[in-house]
Amino acid sequence: MSGVHNVCGVVVHVAPGRLEAARAAIAALPGVELHAEADQGRLVATAVDTDSTMAIDQLAAINRIPGVVSTTLAYHAMDDEGDAAADSRTAPRAAASEQPRL
């Protein structure tokens, strides 16, 4: 796998009566992790690139699971793991006088 870290956060809405089977199928996907469950069949998951699959392919696989009504992308980030300056939390901010005017 390259030095780029790709992560997608999604909300998955599952039809009533299909939650257990859908939860198990989602959790079995490589690079996919379930984090939370909310009312009315909503699951919160992340998908990351692995050596064998891409996160986008796992999102498509989630959508094909029987009982999944929809998958909504809530978060996406791609960072170069070797480049700390790519992280906006550690990158120095320009002074107000140096910022371009729009």
* β-strands 32-38, 4-14 pairing: unpaired
Residue type, 38: A
The answer to whether residue 47 scores a pLDDT higher than 50 is: yes
Give the per-residue pLDDT at 34: 97
Average of per-residue pLDDT values in the chain: 84
Q: Rounded mean pLDDT of 35-47?
A: 94
Give the per-residue pLDDT at 74: 95
- Show the DSSP H helices in 1-101 as ranges: 19-27, 55-64
CB atoms within 10 A of CB 32: 23
Per residue in 59-71, is it b (16+ CB within 10 Å) or e — as a string? bebbeebebbeeb
